[in-house]
Structure 1
Amino acid sequence: MYRGDSPCIEKEDEIATEYPLTIVLNGEEFATLVCTPTDLKDLAVGFLASEGVIRLPDEIISVSINEKRGFAYVETINKQPVSLEFYAKRFIGSCCGKSRQSFYFHNDVKTAKTITTRSQITVDQCFRLIELLQQQSFYFQTTGGVHNAALCSQDDIIVSRTDIGRHNTLDKIYGYWMFHRIPLKDKVIVFSGRISSEVLLKVAKIGVGMIVSKSAPTDLALDMADELGITIVGFVRGEKMNVYTHPERMIR
């Protein structure tokens, strides 16, 4: 559709798919995620790891996907029932006189890691990784309706994932890591969207010390990144970027 006297043109357009996936944990429904129907094993395992339900790959007995029905069946060694109430309650605590941990859920307290890596990255490498993510974002280019994330070395993308949900892209990355156990001390998460506190916590749970995005962070994400030892680089566009936290990891 065009303004004014320009003609209307009828044509087909590719639309992002919205797909409900119900995770069945040891025979009991645990959660339903709305997602893009790709890399579903990674998503199911990464989500459970992010929630603190599983901590190590050895805890997983089997994962199977019924794409037609929209179910992911996960069987783990621990058969004790999981309390959904536990995963929805806020944890009220303090840290060095601060109250930031009052924003964490119980499972966030268990699973968010403080990052101590001294690995560094150059400004040019950050620009390069954002460029690589954009080049690989074919589904975004055709639909404009998805987010992208990638686990990267300082020079290249190791694995990238796409989803309609920002958080799902990171759960897919986490699930991939659970299956492959790549060393993380020198790795970077490159991200297409806004860095919220929830996004930052997922990066901390994966165990990566830097997130680079073309978009902005929130104030709570910056507070948490400062506390958890994570470098946030935002607004990586053109020839500029903003380094918000732990700038000692950035070098020219």
Structure 2
Amino acid sequence: MRSAERTVPEETPVAFSYGGSTHAVMMATPADLEDFATGFSLTEGIVAGTAEIETIEILVEDKGIDVQITLNTEREDRLRARRRHLAGPVGCGLCGIESIEQAVRATPDVSASALRLSEDEIVEAVALLNGAQPLHAETRAVHGAGFYVPARGLVAVREDVGRHNALDKLVGAAARAGFSGRDGAVVVTSRVSVEMVQKTAIIGSPFIIAISAPTALAIRTAQDAGMTLVALVRGDEFDVFTHPRRIEPKEATHVA
């Protein structure tokens, strides 16, 4: 046995507060918090667009971080009304749900999307993500999420100890940079759970591409939403679980 140093990722409680009231608390990597707050607000349906967020203030406290989010008046009123219908306190995960029906929430339909990817672009997207995760390269302990746009490559990448957090950070980063979910594919290093599919559909992306495997519910949800779910990408091999029509064979040329 010998002594050695190793870099490990930080994990801390991050609270999202709207109008002075805490809405959710996640254990997360304390980085890219404005992106995190924006993405969470979008994927949880708290806002419909970044313009509805007026300010984001990050308060570092002794035991965690409080992210204070101010919404415009209309959205603040809607959120206040939504809170009145909650059964009890909310936290991380499925926030403020009262029933099984709410847990398995409706997923937006992305079947009308015209986006297509070639087999080579799917392989490229994952290869680019593998090389764009500095925290993972240093720690081997975090998840990554990227947004891939054909002919442009990865336009945003975010990392976090939580796979849902990494995706929310990515959604926020892409939205703040002016990218629409319809323009590209979500690429993740984690397994694909139903929440990952739902979050991807909420921003309008018709593709989720993963290095790991999906759950059965994620597959059914992607199928019903008209989303192409590609997983287990290893080199130039991958499995297509839903809607393969969007994937062009290698000999085809991508058409924007």
Sort the TM-score into its range (normalised by shorter chain): 0.7 to 0.9
From 161, 167, 170, give the equivalent of 1:170. Answer: 167
Pick the aligned partner of 2:132 from 136, 141, 155. 136
What's the C-alpha RMSD, in Å, of the aligned pairs? 1.7
TM-score, length-scaled by structure 1: 0.86
* Structure 2 unaligned residues grouped into runs of 5+: 88-94, 250-256
Runs ≥4 in structure 1, deviation > 3 angstroms?
84-87
What does 1:1-252 align with in structure 2 at a 5 Å threshold?
8-68=1-61, 70-77=65-72, 78-80=75-77, 81=80, 82-83=82-83, 84-85=86-87, 87-90=96-99, 92=101, 104-105=104-105, 109=106, 112-115=107-110, 116-155=112-151, 156-252=153-249
CA 219–74 in structure 1, closer or farther in 2 if over 3 Å, else same: same
1:54 partner letter:
V
TM-score scaled to structure 2, two decimals? 0.85
The CA deviation at 1:44 is 1.3
Question: Which sections of structure 1, spanning at least 5 residues, go unmatched?
Answer: 1-7, 93-101
Shift of residue 58, structure 1, vs aligned partner: 2.2
User: Are 1:152 and 1:187, in contact at CA under 8 Å, matched by a contact in 2?
Assistant: yes
Residue 3 of structure 1: aligned partner: none
Structure 1 window deviating more from structure 2 (79-88 vs 193-202): it is 79-88
Give the deviation of 1:219 after TM superposition.
Answer: 0.8
Q: Tell me how far 1:52 sits from its aligned partner.
A: 1.3
Number of matched pairs = 231
8 Å contact from structure 1 (residues 117, 186) kept in 2: no
Q: Which residue of 2 aligns with 1:98?
A: none
The alignment partner of 1:194 has SS state of coil
What amino acid sits opposite 2:97 in the alignment? A
